[in-house]
Structure 1
């Protein structure tokens, strides 16, 4: 495949088996101001903006419903059990659809799959806003979340394809956009619903953002990117699954995603039970989420200087352990400090996505690894918030579940160090499987 017209080659097979060191372990690369240089081109900026817009849509289906759940359940007559199913749908969809996205990309191409993901988000959010029954609301939620799941998987290969020399920079930008997506949708949906007197507005307004993101992707469909040029170029799933890198990333991703969803679901309840007021607890949760944005934007600088040493995953793990331990020992003494520590530890999420791109040499490798890591990672991680609540109910205390959550920080440090020091995925596969 020839030049894409976007400032980077669309070929998924690199022209030489000798890959620059920067693909395996980042050199000292300038910060985000140069994320699109090399050289700066209008097409390159345009593609980068479309990737960031994509990420900005991938948490709105979750954030907008979580804060309006009581209004939705009352209006639709939804039972508590059904509402519980609704809260678990994101992780289930991220896992199941995430596992199948690699095959969809191979069939449709990277750009068409991205456009399909945004179309599903658009249709799902739009129709969910007019759903008149519980079944319809759940079905349209699955559509929107399925599109978000596909978007999760295609982000790393998009970065690998269009910004092979700036994977960390573009990953930081879309990672910050992912965080902003959840923050904006959870903070603006309630005011919008109150302003118009209906939860449907708060849920449905995000479909306009999905439409805005979809339009530029439609212009890229004629210059699509395939993840394999021929059957012999494909990466056999069995070989990818046998790679130690794959499983180290699965463990690290599952640990950080499980801890993150436990934070979203239980942090406020933990500090409220310790004596903090509900309004303050909500502000602390916002602080926890917000501190992740500047850290994410600093990741290219950090990876350029510390990549390959294991320092970053150990730091993320240590911050996570410290945050949960603080909530065990002194939950009411310095809750803001524990929120900041947990928020900084959550930088492991964007770091994992960046490693998916930096520990592969090709678009095919990045797509395969992204799908096989995020699918099982979200599936296993989804058990953590459920287990946290169940353990609290059984023991009548937050201490046992918090100790378990702190242990996830140890897994992030150990598995993340293996990832950070690993060679690229394709180096461990037989030559004929490289794609």
Structure 2
């Protein structure tokens, strides 16, 4: 592989990072669309199917927190290799499952690899593209979004062919195996980040940093809102008088708006810099979108979907800020783990509480007010992040 300091080397590394991101949602996206077939063939109960849909967020939270320790022990590139090996084996072997136990075990393995990859992306960008953080964050953010969408779209027709659901969920192991090849070459240029010790960052001090908590709350509020959208947005619109077909299309519109918003992030950061304007806008349109659904769900559902889709730009913005608010790969790795691990846990429980509030109150009003408040949290914590100095200067 070309030297990573050359233009060709940087292009190859950049492509490898984008390929990595493309693998991090296929274990999720390829399952939901074939769930009925899985239940029938593997004998999955409704409870087991529910656990399977929750498993990704649990893995992202638990293994997200563990990623920094793994990076310190074996290096950043080796962590990526480990992640891709886990994804490859997990995706391949769960296609041969003859019962729930093996399918759950291999899904757990693939998702744990995806969790390692999630947290590794910001420090990879910090190490290899410190001068292009916004651009690379936007590209891998778009790849993450595309990963789930593409795997869902492609898995449906494949599952209806001769290979059935097994080919639909197993074929993505090929993508992971291909992605693994350039990363095996990059092991020779590995990077270890040391937390603690001489020149390192004490983990206890990082945990106490207000910047860490602002990052965690901002990412958690965005993640929680996003997964509530995926789980309940269409149903909320339908209960508000929108026909079921249109409600489903509104969810698709919301998701579609997120892609160009993410790709526009480098220009937005270049235009307004690292000022509070962007998080205030992301939080503001998120709150406006949920309040619109609360007040007039059937009058302008497309407008609410667009507003919420634009608010989703907070996801990539926070990931970019992980790189901007740290000086070293060590700081980026630690902040990424402490932001994404707990943040995804919030994402896992948010749809549950959204539904619980509905069941307790008999309407969606309390749930929608809670989700609108998430936009306020994004605005407040994002403003603090935008005005903050580097993590290393605050501990």
Q: Does 1:250 align with 2:248?
A: no
Alignment of 1:131-280 (within 5 A): 131-196=97-162, 198-228=164-194, 231-280=197-246
Residue 380 of structure 1 corresponds to 346
- 2:160 aligns to what SS in structure 1? helix
Residue 34 of structure 1 corresponds to none
- 1:226 aligns to what SS in structure 2? coil
Residue 259 of structure 2 corresponds to 293
Which of 387, 391, 394 pairs up with 1:425? 391
CA contact (8 A) 2:60 2:111 kept: yes
Residue 3 of structure 2 corresponds to 5
- 2:154 aligns to what SS in structure 1? helix
Which of 130, 146, 163 pairs up with 2:96? 130
CA contact (8 A) 1:153 1:371 kept: yes
- 2:24 aligns to what SS in structure 1? coil
Partner Cα distance (2:58, 2:374) in 1: 20
Shift of 1:275: 3.6
- 1:219 aligns to what SS in structure 2? helix
Query: What's the TM-score once normalised by structure 2's chain length?
Result: 0.97
Alignment of 1:280-429 (within 5 A): 280-429=246-395
CA contact (8 A) 2:195 2:203 kept: no
- 2:98 aligns to what SS in structure 1? coil
Which of 78, 83, 89 pairs up with 2:55? 89
Which of 34, 53, 72 pairs up with 2:38? 72
Partner Cα distance (1:122, 1:388) in 2: 34
Shift of 1:229: 9.5
CA contact (8 A) 2:72 2:195 kept: no
Partner Cα distance (1:84, 1:50) in 2: 34
Shift of 1:301: 1.2
Partner Cα distance (1:229, 1:373) in 2: 16
Supply the RMSD in Å over aligned alpha carbons: 1.5
Partner Cα distance (2:205, 2:301) in 1: 45
Query: What's the TM-score once normalised by structure 1's chain length?
Result: 0.88
Are residues 378 and 229 of structure 1, via their aligned partners in 2, closer, same or farther at CA, if it must alter by over 3 Å?
closer
Partner Cα distance (1:194, 1:345) in 2: 35
Shift of 1:277: 3.8
Partner Cα distance (2:197, 2:208) in 1: 20
Structure 2 runs not aligned, ≥5 long: none
Q: Does 1:50 align with 2:16?
A: yes
Aligned positions, number: 394
